[in-house]
Structure 1
Amino acid sequence: MLTERGAIVTDTHMKTNQPEVYAAGDVNGKSMLAHTAYREAEVAVNVMLGKKDTMRYEAVPGVLYTNPELSAVGETEASAKAKGLDAAVVKIPMRFSGRYLAENEGGDGIIKLVVDNASKRVLGAQVLSNYSSEFIVTVGTFIELGMTIDEVKKIVFPHPTVSEIIREAVFQY
């Protein structure tokens, strides 16, 4: 079965509507990112081998390699509200990170952390910052594992790092 745009329809296990046929990568039209295709292929192979695995697109980060970089993963405030979620957003300027401030004199950026108020689970983040491509995966991991704010608070972030901004945002919730 194909979508209106000609992509192969798959489920979260990368199965198509044909027995023993799987589709990973650009052909399914879900995400045109190489790192998504790698994960889709892993899910497909695991399922073929009888291992439980599921593709979670909300945990796949995307990055615009601009200056500064713009990275995002999971829900935005708008998408969470559109889904009827009671989402809170924590906004922290990147200058709250001493290392960011030291290495980006005069530069600024922001992190927005999206949290579900009901479950306290991390839903997403958007980061405008140099180095954001290096640490957005951290929030993707929280989403993949279904971590709550209280669980994330137990994680030790190395100091001084730009990624500490995630910790700052978590503790501002």
Structure 2
Amino acid sequence: MAQLFRKRGIAMIDSFHIDAVEKVSSPQGALRITGRSKDRDQEEIFCDRLLVAYGMKPILEGYGLEDSGIAVEKGAIAVNEGMETSVPGVYAVGDVTGGQMLAHEAEYEALAAVGSMRGKPCPVDRDAMPGCIFTEPEIATVGLTEEEARGRGISVAVGKAFFLGNGMARAMGKTDGFVKVVADADRDLQILGVHMVGPEAASLIAEATLAVGARMTVRQVAYTVHPHPTTSECFKDALFRLL
């Protein structure tokens, strides 16, 4: 994404520490940001708008939680696989439990909680929880990255295909991006993770999520017919790079 942004004339500065933000009257912009980057000790950036996005955290104060006996760990309500708290019969789902804080994650946590209540457990598989960023092009990911898999001592195999060679992407005029598949080389190429940047990535990740969650192999998914011409063929092409 950094390469694509720079290609569009968007400046990217990594690891920038902001020291001060001031309103100024300057032809360069209405705001002056002073800070330090990894390449410079002191730097000034002028702009008209500043968007601060530093993540989220659960809000647990003001609900009497401290008197409930419900355990809190690392600023979030602690739950088991069935989303039950430390107080039997009390369940918690969604942002208050921490995690990635995604709407679809909360939905499936609710399903897991109801399943536990009914005696039909269906725990949420955290290794098969997709995440999407709706930029242009879209970003989508599920499962382990190559680095995470190697960190677990797994022998990793990687397949990669680019949307530049995809018929539908070319017809759409959106050929930036790729699909990367991370598989376990010692376990019949079980799919561990899939990472995408490109057109319709947020929709394509659903098939990859099924593959990761069902512990499917590269061969099983690659030999499933993918219709032509569709962007899903880029996922198929990345899989065939491993066969």
Bin the TM-score by the shorter chain.
Answer: over 0.9
Give the aligned partner of residue 97 of structure 1: 166
For residues 50-88 of structure 1, what are the alpha-carbon distances to aligned partners after superposition, in whole Å with 9 as ceiling and x for unaligned? 113111122111111111111111111111111111111
Give the aligned partner of residue 149 of structure 1: 218
CA distance in 2, matches of 1:126, 1:92: 11
CA distance in 1, matches of 2:157, 2:166: 22
Give the aligned partner of residue 116 of structure 1: 184
Unpaired stretches in structure 2, ≥5 consecutive residues: 1-70
**Aligned-pair CA distance for 1:11:** 2.0
**Aligned-pair CA distance for 1:145:** 1.0
**Aligned-pair CA distance for 1:117:** 1.0
Question: Max radius of gyration: which structure?
Answer: 2
Q: Which moved more, 1:40-49 or 1:143-152?
A: 143-152
**Aligned-pair CA distance for 1:112:** 0.9
CA distance in 2, matches of 1:69, 1:153: 23
Higher helix share: 1
Q: Does 1:34 align with 2:34?
A: no
Q: Is the 8 A contact 2:226 2:232 kept in 1?
A: yes
For residues 104-149 of structure 1, what are the alpha-carbon distances to aligned partners after superposition, in whole Å with 9 as ceiling and x for unaligned? 25x4211111111122211111111021011111100101111112
Q: Is the 8 A contact 2:159 2:240 kept in 1?
A: no
Aligned structure 1 segments of 4 or more residues deviating by more than 3 angstroms: none
Higher strand share: 2
Q: TM-score, normalised by structure 1?
A: 0.93
Q: Is the 8 A contact 1:25 1:31 kept in 2?
A: no
Q: TM-score, normalised by structure 2?
A: 0.67
CA distance in 2, matches of 1:38, 1:50: 19
Give the aligned partner of residue 137 of structure 1: 206
Unpaired stretches in structure 1, ≥5 consecutive residues: none
**Aligned-pair CA distance for 1:154:** 3.2
Q: Does 1:62 align with 2:123?
A: no
CA distance in 2, matches of 1:52, 1:31: 22
- Which of 232, 235, 241 aligns to 1:163? It is 232
CA distance in 2, matches of 1:149, 1:162: 18
Equivalent AA in structure 2 for residue 113 of structure 1: V
Over the residues paired in the alignment, what is the CA RMSD in angstroms? 1.3
Indicate the structure whose relative CO is greater, using CA pairs within 8 Å and at least 6 residues apart: 1
Give the aligned partner of residue 142 of structure 2: 73
Give the aligned partner of residue 2 of structure 1: 72
Q: Does 1:127 align with 2:196?
A: yes
Overall identity of the aligned pairs, in %: 36
Q: How many residues align?
A: 171
